[in-house]
Amino acid sequence: MEAMFLSRWQFAITTVYHFLFVPVTLGLSVFVALLETCYVRTKKPEWKGACKKLVQFFGALFIINFSMGVVTGIVQEFHFGMNWSEYARFMGDIFGAPLALEALTAFFLESTMLGVWIFGWKRLSEKAHCVTIWLVAIASNLSAFWILVANSFMQHPVGYVLNNGRAEMQDFFALLTNHYVLGEYTHTFFAGWATAGFVVVAVSAWKVLHDEKSRNAFRQTLKSGALFMLIGLLCSAGTGHFHAQYLEQANPMKLAAMEALWEDENPAPFAVYANINEKTHKNDSELTIPGLFSFMVYNTPSGEVRGMNSLQADYEKQYGNGDYRPDVTGLFWSFRFMVGFAGLMMLLALATYLIAKKEDAYKHTTFLSALPWLLPIVYIVNSCGWYVAEAGRQPWIVVGLQKTADAVSPNLTGGDVWLTMIGFTVTYLILAIIALRLAFHFIRKNHVSYEGRN
């Protein structure tokens, strides 16, 4: 029991940490590829030199981030067997395939091409060099697809058959076309744009304010970064909306928990605030907007949305005794933090874009100096999103098929996991501090001068 509890904490700590770097890799690879395409295609000689330096500048930040993502990613691949061997046994046929495909189709391409990109400036033509960063970007985003195929099965199993107590794959294409992965993937893909966009915006804002020599060059990336971020935010909001609508069929318990809806209601109200009581299975007090939840789900202010209490009764009939409600309070507030902060970021991105269009953007000192301090918001939003996704499927590790409690490696002791959990946490903390300081040092020391206009 102790090993299970600690293994969950260890997995949570290491995945959340891993996912600090992943969205930056996903989005920044595309951003750098776009920037290098500008460098290759531009006809303006004064811009070409500056643009190349900007590519290398953001490329260096990309590489620091990428190396952190790689080393923490290996931990995740090993974890499924190390701590969750009974899960890996039960799910191997289905879960192992996308993982192997991720390595075979994406990791090889990504790592080989990144090595070529970093060291190939003088060995390749401009165009060929630009192709390598595009391959890195495509491979990174392809790897996200495979791992989300695996994750989507855990949220919403499809294309399988139960045989000898194990889930066996029956239809590979059903796995790939799982409606769930469509929502998760598009949402994650654009979250990558939003995250990387914000990173570019925060760094550029600092450079515009504090580095007079580089001011003009970084005003360009301030503008393009803000646009990139805005596109990412709008599209992830859209895909998130459709995915939540789909949850009504695919995982109604998660949806009800996100909204702290205990009873079936028609039309269902949206709670802006709720004082959730998980013991009595109701909200002690709440502030609601009538019909809005139904409207969010059905695009019309009526229609029944299932509540947790009736779903719980259904699940008890189907799966036997047990509590099938996830952490309602955590889900409810994580979802609100995610949506609220995403809204705030949209305003920030829009304001940044409008300011960056002006020649005298650097005069907006208060706004620009606040941007780097606000960067952690996007990381909080990403983590909240994953909390909703992963805590929302508890008590299941694979919804309807295997419970988290049955998945842990039986040979582990609490002491084993204590040791590794502390080991990973301390190592990760120290590395985060070092990587951040290196990035700050790099940002301060490197200049990009550009005399041209736009």
Partner 1 sequence: MELQIVWFILIAVLFTGFFFLEGFDYGVGGLLPFLSPDDKDRSQIIRTITPVWDGNEVWMITAGGALFASFPHVYSTMFATFYLALFLMLFALILRGVAFEFRGRRESLSWRHFWEGCIAFGSIVPAILWGVAVTDLIRGLPINEKMIYTGGFFDLLSIYSIVGGLAFLFVFLYHGASYLTIRLSDKSLIERARAMGLKMGRLAVIFFVLCMVLTATNTDLYHSALATIALIAAAAVFVAANVMLAKRNGKVSFILSSLAIVFTTVAFFAGLFPRIMVSSLNPAYSLTITNASSSPYTLSVMTVVACIFVPIVLIYQIWAYHLFRKRVTEQDAEEEY
Task: Kindly identify the residues of this chain, within the stretch 357-416, that bind partner 1 according to CB under 8 A.
Answer: 409-412, 416
420 binds partner 1 (CB under 8 A): yes
Question: Which residues is 305 bridged to in the sheet?
Answer: 265
85 binds partner 1 (CB under 8 A): yes
304 binds partner 1 (CB under 8 A): no
* Helix count and strand count (H, E) for the chain: 15, 6
Among 101, 368, 371, 389, binds partner 1 (CB under 8 A): 101
CB of 254 to partner 1, least distance (A): 27
CB of 256 to partner 1, least distance (A): 34
Among 13, 15, 42, 81, binds partner 1 (CB under 8 A): 81
CA distances from 163 to 80, 87, 91, 168, 437 (A): 21, 15, 11, 7, 52
Pick the stretch among 222-230, 247-255, 327-335, 424-432 that binds partner 1 (CB under 8 A): 424-432
Using CB atoms within 10 A of its CB, is residue 297 exposed (0-12), middle (13-18) or buried (19+)? buried
Which residues does 170 contact at the CB level (< 8 Å), separation at least 6?
159, 160, 161
CB of 424 to partner 1, least distance (A): 8
Among 40, 60, 377, 391, binds partner 1 (CB under 8 A): 60
User: Which pair of tokens denotes residue 220?
Assistant: 């360009």
List, as one string, the DSSP characters of 290-319: TTHHHHHHHSSS---B--HHHHHHHHHHHH
* CB contact at 8 A, 7 and 80: no
Q: If binding means CB under 8 A, how many residues of this protein chain bind partner 1?
A: 73
177 binds partner 1 (CB under 8 A): no
* CB contact at 8 A, 294 and 248: no
Nearest residue to 135 via CA among 112, 119, 118: 112
Q: By CB under 8 A, what part of segment 431-450 binds partner 1?
A: 431, 434-435, 438, 441-442
Among 4, 28, 35, 94, binds partner 1 (CB under 8 A): 94
- N- to C-terminal Cα distance for the chain? 61
* CB contact at 8 A, 430 and 438: no
Q: By CB under 8 A, what part of segment 108-167 binds partner 1?
A: 108-109, 111-116, 118-124, 163
Pick the stretch among 29-37, 291-299, 314-322, 422-430 that binds partner 1 (CB under 8 A): 422-430
Q: Whose Cβ is closer to partner 1: residue 59's or residue 392's?
A: 59
Pick the stretch among 58-66, 234-242, 359-367, 371-379 that binds partner 1 (CB under 8 A): 58-66
Residue 162: what residue type?
A: L
68 binds partner 1 (CB under 8 A): yes
User: Which pair of tokens denotes residue 221?
Assistant: 């990336």
Q: Whose Cβ is closer to partner 1: residue 82's or residue 391's?
A: 82
103 binds partner 1 (CB under 8 A): yes
Among 96, 301, 303, 400, binds partner 1 (CB under 8 A): 96
Among 2, 41, 44, 74, binds partner 1 (CB under 8 A): 74
Among 55, 91, 268, 338, binds partner 1 (CB under 8 A): 91
Using CB atoms within 10 A of its CB, is residue 452 exposed (0-12), middle (13-18) or buried (19+)? middle
